[in-house]
Structures are given as structure tokens and as C-alpha cells.
Chain A
């Protein structure tokens, strides 16, 4: 198990290096730079600006300088957000994005998983059809349609949840002040989790049905185990495997989904900084965010892999 974990860590380092390199050269490859928009600037001013951000040096040297800085935890100054370093902006954005993403993942696993099990146990019942049609809707209606609709219903019409950080009169947070720090996150988390709930519910259902058909489940039933024990002690562990292996890609889609969700709900997370940075060619900001996201995704993937190793003895033997 330890060697398996160690190998995972060893693979993570080159992955991260590839990501940094790829995004660095992608950003610098194309014609045009961050100061193109300000056409009225004197050439000397532009030269000074470029020198301040190391942009006057050859790309290879810039790359070396950048790698050295990143290793020391310095992502450089932002170009769009004047007088802010990228590290400062990340310190604002990361907690918001983490809270949003992790809550959405947790919600998706809990609800998607239990709905899937429910549907599998009552296969072809009305509960099954209800869960599956909900799942279909969750997959077919994109989050950027769902999110504004939710804002309209819960924020504008019912006035219980804040719209874009503005608390309406008579909102939940006004009625129960203790909830005030959570209310801005309720809708974004649900909107972000919905597609994953849908996919996880379908996956869990399929894999649970498949598992319940296995011979060892029949044996367990035949020897007189209570149905509850069969499901929870025998079937669930095996049925969880394909679901757990989807969690890695799920993390990646939650991360990308959060860009849109942060934009819609005006949350000051990393996704909004990323879009601002990308649109304005803010190299240090974009690179910094990509690196942080990549680290987060890699760590979460490692956790998923380890979980998989715990659940599936075959993985351990291979490692």
C-alpha cells in the first residue's frame, strides 16, 4: 500500500511539471502581449513595463526565471490587478473555490450515490423511473441554464436566497442570522453538483444492479443474510468501484464547472480571476491559477486512487 502511494506521488511531480511547461509556452507562444491594448503608451513606457515583468528577455530565460520563482512559492505580480501579487489574489480566490468545489463533490457523492442505490434496489419501480428521469434532466440541462433559473426562482421570486451576493429582503439569512455565511453558497453548490449528482446516480445504479446479479450475492442471500446486510456489507463495496474510478474525472469537471458558476453567482473565486486573466493576457495570474488548480486536481485524484486501492485488493497486488 505504501509503495502504491509513493508511486502515485512520484507520478504527480512530472505531471505538474508538464502542466506548468505546457501552459507557460502556450501563453507566450502566440503573437501579442498584455500591453497591446494600451496603444497610446509611449514606446519607452512599454519597454519599462515589459522589463518590470521580465517580458523583454528571451522566452527560454523567462521560463527558467519563472520556474525558479514558483519553486520558492512566488507567482509574480499580476498584470491586470495592479499592485497585487498573484499569491495575494490566490489567497482570496482559493478558499472560495475550495469551499464551493468540495461541498459540491460531497453533495454529489452523497445524493448521487444514495439515489443510485435506491433506484437499483427498486429497479423498474416508479422510484427508479423518477430518479432516472431526474438524472437525465441533470445531464441534459447545463449548469449555466440551471443556475440563472435557480436565481430567478429562489432569489427574485421567492426572495429567500441571495442573488449575486445581494441579500433580498426577508431572506433566509435575515430570518436566521447564523446561516448568513452559508447562504451565498447554497445555490452555487447545488448548481455545480447537479450534473455530477445525475452522472453518479446513473453510474451507481448500473454498477449496483450488475453487482446484485453476482453469484456471491445469491450465496449471501441463500445462506439467509438479511437483505440490509447483503446490500451494505457485500454489494456496496464491489459496486462502489466503478463509481470511485469516476470520481477523478468528476473532480476535473467540478473544477471546470466552477468557473462558470463563480461567474454567474459573482463569487470571488479563482475561476473569475482566471477568466479575467486569460482575457487580458495576464500571464502570471493565469499560470498561477492553472498551477493551483492542477495541484488541487492531482491531490484529489491521488486520494481517489488510494481509496480505490483500499477498496480493490487487485490494485494492491499489482503495485
Chain B
């Protein structure tokens, strides 16, 4: 008994030593590299601040989104009136409008990307995993869609089915999955050749299990990078739609809606366009810096 106990203690001591010198995983390496990237970290912080403001800021103002301040119509930004970003031509407070718009724009960016991600990952993983003629046909179809100006289809969809915010989510997502599918397919093709996939198949795992548990976790790097670049793209697409008068409807608003309305008064009341436009641009910068940082962190052989 005491012999076993001694042996166990010895084993435990060995194991303790093992955990103490545990090697760094790929992800720990990547996160260390990402944290060293100042531009990317600044991007994360500013984006966090914008998101936080979008949630909290509207309730900080003395005005609500429905208030029409008849004493201050198209008033410039000022601290005294409490209209920190000024007011528009109906006396609505731009501070509240801008941050409510931020909610909608960010939500659209995230939701549409989620839709595109689901379609793209499933489509790409299937094509890459099955391979052969199926892969050929599926990717040929993507090539065909790639050549089309897809915004046209979004515009047709939105005009035909009405300007519903959920439809905007779906329409943009259904159109922006192509690159995702290409990336996932390419990665899947290369992962498929690895020995651990062969081992999984040899031990009797089905296709669905292999794709879900072995292939997808290993293609995640490039997908994350592309997601951070797709979110701002989709925010822009929504702004384009709003700019053309096809985006979200009143009483909801988005940065695109605010910018397009601000353009009309760019000479007399430039803040109506500039404030939402600057926030939109800053958000774009943040996402791009984060995306670049993630790419450098996950794929250090470049640069």
C-alpha cells in the first residue's frame, strides 16, 4: 500500500512538473502576437467603446428618439442646449439618433455576417470535403454568382418584399457568403489530406463527425480573419441601401440613413452628415485594423 502511495506521489510530482513547463498552444502564440499589435489593440478598444456607447449613450441624453425640440431646429452641437451632436431639421437630437443608428448598423453587420458565415461554412466545407465532380459543380456555381453585381439582387429583393429589417439581414447575408465558401473550401481541401483525418476515418467516424469535429476547427483561423473584414463590408452595404432609400425604415435609423439625410444639408448643417460619417469611418478603421492584426497573428509567415 505504502509502495503504491509512494509511486502515486512520484507520478503526481512528475505530472506537476509537466504542467509547469506546459508548452504554448498555437492559440496562445497567436493571442500574444495579437496583443503586441498596437493598431489592432487600439481597434479593439475603440470598437468596444463605440459598442458600449451604442448601448448606453441614448439613455444619457435628456432627449429621446421621438422628441421634437421645436426651439432648436437644425441647431449646431452645443453643451448648453443638451444637444451634444446638434439637432436635425425636425428638431430631433442627433446624439440619440447617432447612437441608436450605431445599434442598428452594428447589429446588421453582425447578423448579416452570421447568416453569411453559416451558409458559406456549410457550403464550402461540403464542397471541399466531398471533392470531385460535386466540388467542381458547386464552385462553378459560386464563380458564376461571383461575377454578378449582387447589390442589384439585394435591391430587387428589398424593393419587392418591402423594407423589412429582417429581410435586409437575410438579403445581405444570402449574397455575401461567396468568399467565405471559397476560403472554407480551400482550407478544407488542404486539411483533408492530413493524417489525423485518415486516423479519424480509420477509427470509424462518419463524414458529419469528421467535418464538424476535425475539419472545421482546423479551418477556423482564416475564417475568423474574414469575418472581421465581412462585418464592416456588410455595414457598408446596409449604408448603401439606406443611402438609396432602401434601408431600415422610420422610426429605426442607421448610420447610412443619417448620412444620406445629412448630405442634403451639407452646406448649412454639415454636422448632420459629418458626425455619423466619422463614426462609420472610425468603425471601418477599427475592423480593418483588427482584421489585419488577426491575420498577422494567425498567419505569421507574411510580412
Residues of chain A whose beta carbon lies under 8 Å from any beta carbon of chain B: 11, 15, 18-19, 22-23, 26-27, 29-30, 136-137, 139-142, 144-145, 148-149, 151-152, 156, 206, 210, 248-249, 252-253, 255-256, 259-260, 263-264, 274-275, 278-279, 281, 286, 290, 293-294, 297-298, 301
Q: Which residues of B contact A253 (CB under 8 A)?
A: 149
Q: Which of A29, A145, A252, A301 contacts B273 (CB 8 A)?
A: A145
CB closest residue in chain B, given A145: B277
The answer to whether A256 and B285 touch (CB under 8 A), given A145-B259, A281-B159, is: no
User: A256 CA to B243 CA in the complex, in Å?
Assistant: 13
The proximity string for B residues 138-172 relative to A, scoring 1 for CB distances below 8 Å and 0 otherwise, is: 00000010111111110111011100000000000
18 CB < 8 A contacts A-B = A15-B144, A23-B152, A26-B156, A136-B288, A137-B281, A140-B281, A140-B284, A156-B267, A252-B146, A256-B152, A259-B155, A263-B244, A278-B155, A278-B156, A278-B246, A279-B159, A297-B148, A301-B147
Q: How far is the CA of A139 from the CA of B270 in the complex (A)?
A: 22
Q: Is the CB of B152 within 8 A of A140?
A: no
**Contact present for B245 and A279 (CB under 8 Å):** yes
Bound CA span A235–B217, Å? 37
A61 to B50, CA, bound (A): 53
- Find out whether the CB atom of A290 lies under 8 angstroms from the CB atom of B152: yes
B151: which A residues are within 8 A, CB to CB?
A: 256, 259
Contacts of B152 in A (CB 8 A): 23, 256, 274, 290, 293
| A contact residues around B266 at 8 Å (CB) | 148-149, 151-152
Complex: chain A residue closest to B285, CB-CB:
A140
Decide if the interface of chain A is mainly helix, strand, loop or mixed.
helix
Q: Please indicate the chain B residues that have their CB under 8 angstroms from the CB of A144 in the complex.
A: 239-240, 243, 259-260, 263
B280 an interface residue at 8 Å Cβ cutoff? Answer: yes
Q: How many residues of B contact A (CB 8 A)?
A: 37
Docked complex Cα distance between A88 and B126 (Å)? 46
Q: How far is the CA of A278 from the CA of B243 in the complex (A)?
A: 15
CB distance from B39 to the nearest CB of A (A): 10
Cβ contact of B157, chosen from A26, A206, A248, cutoff 8 A: A26
| Of B239, B263, B267, B273, the contact of A264 (CB 8 Å cutoff) | B263
The CA-CA distance from A167 to B243 in the complex, in Å, is 25
CB of B236 closer than 8 Å to a CB of A? yes
Shortest Cβ distance from A18 into B: residue: B144
Instruction: Tell me the dominant secondary structure on chain B's binding face.
Output: helix
Identify which of B144, B273, B284 contacts A139 (C-beta below 8 A). Answer: B284
Q: How far is it, in angstroms, between the C-alpha of A11 and the C-alpha of B137 when the chains are bound? A: 13
Q: Of residues 224 to 255 in B, which have CB atoms within 8 Å of A's CB atoms?
A: 236, 239-240, 243-246
User: With the chains together, A23 CA to B152 CA distance in Å?
Assistant: 9
- Tell me, in angstroms, the Cα distance from A97 to B150 when the chains sit together: 17
Say whether A252 contacts B267, CB under 8 Å: no
Residue of B nearest to A139 (CB): B288
Q: Are B284 and A141 in contact (CB under 8 A)?
A: yes
Q: Which residues of the partner chain B approach A297 to less than 8 Å between Cβ atoms? A: 147-149
Contacts A142-B236, A152-B266, A152-B267 known; A23 to B156 CB distance under 8 Å?
Answer: yes
Cross-chain contact B149 with A256 (CB below 8 angstroms): yes
Closest residue of chain A to B303 (Cβ to Cβ) is A209
Question: Which of A145, A255, A275, A297: most chain B Cβ within 10 A?
Answer: A145
Chain B residues whose C-beta falls within 8 Å of the C-beta of A152 in the assembled complex: 266-267, 270
Q: A260 to B244, alpha carbons, bound, how many Å?
A: 7
* Min CB–CB distance B74 → chain A (angstroms): 17
- Known A29-B160, A248-B147: A142·B155 in contact at CB below 8 Å: no
Closest to B162 in A: A30
- The chain B residue with its CB closest to the CB of A141 is B281
Q: A252: which B residues are within 8 A, CB to CB?
A: 146-150
Q: How far is the CA of A61 from the CA of B280 in the complex (A)?
A: 47
A263 CB contacts on chain B under 8 angstroms:
243-244
- CB nearest to A275 among chain B residues: B244
Task: For the complex, give the distance between the alpha carbons of A255 and B240 in Å.
Answer: 13
A20→B148 CA distance, assembly (Å) = 12
With A136-B285, A293-B152 given, name 12 new contacts (CB 8 A). Answer: A26-B153, A141-B284, A142-B240, A144-B243, A144-B259, A210-B302, A252-B147, A252-B149, A256-B150, A275-B155, A281-B159, A301-B147
> A123 to B147, alpha carbons, bound, how many Å?
33
- In whole Å, how far is B13's beta carbon from the nearest beta carbon of chain A? 49
In contact, A286 and B243 (Cβ under 8 angstroms): no
Query: Which residues from B are CB-within-8-Å of A255?
Result: 149
**Contact indicator A145/B281 (Cβ below 8 Å):** yes
Give the CA-CA distance A259 to B151 in the complex, in Å.
10
Give B57 Cβ to nearest chain A Cβ, in Å: 22
Do B155 and A274 have beta carbons less than 8 Å apart?
A: yes
Given the known A-B contacts A148-B266, A278-B155, are A30 and B148 also in contact in the complex, defined by CB atoms under 8 Å?
A: no
Could you tell me if B243 and A260 are in contact, using CB atoms closer than 8 angstroms? yes
Which residue of B has the minimal Cβ distance to A146?
A: B277
Q: How far is the CB of A195 from chain B (nearest CB, A)?
A: 9
Within 8 A of A (CB), among B200-215: none
Contacts of A259 on B, CB cut-off 8 Å?
A: 151, 155, 244
